[in-house]
Amino acid sequence: MLFRSETPPPPGNLRVPEPGGSERPTTAMLKADIDSGATGDKIAAYDPGLSQLGTDDEAAGNAPSHARIALARRTEAASANVRRAARPASLDAWIVLGFSGFIGAIGIVLSAAIWLGH
């Protein structure tokens, strides 16, 4: 990571491994897919929540079946290109340095124009 402020505080700094395949997937596996970055929705980091996925369904007496969870895992899975684009490492340091240099150059040009204009 480029700056310390980009590091999330605990427990958000924990890495979640991508769960493997299963004949009977659970909602915890679906959440691990999301937290590991396998869906491409967010960067790979643990996302603490008050209640886990599926808790509301279970409380209502309508727990999701393993087939529905497997369908959700298949449809939420991101392609390799999407996963690569969602990684924070895809923001290379040269982009930040180039942008900073560009802003600095604008400042120098403006300062020189103001100084020479007097």
Domain boundaries along the sequence of the chain? 4-86, 91-118
User: Whose structure tokens read 């393993």?
Assistant: 66
- Radius of gyration from C-alpha coordinates of the chain: 22
pLDDT in tens, 12-43: 677 777 788 888 888 888 888 888 878 877 77
SS3 12: coil
Nearest to 39, CA basis, from 8, 78, 7: 78
Q: What pTM value is reported for the model? A: 0.55
pLDDT in tens, 34-85: 888 788 777 777 777 767 777 788 888 888 888 888 888 888 887 777 777 6
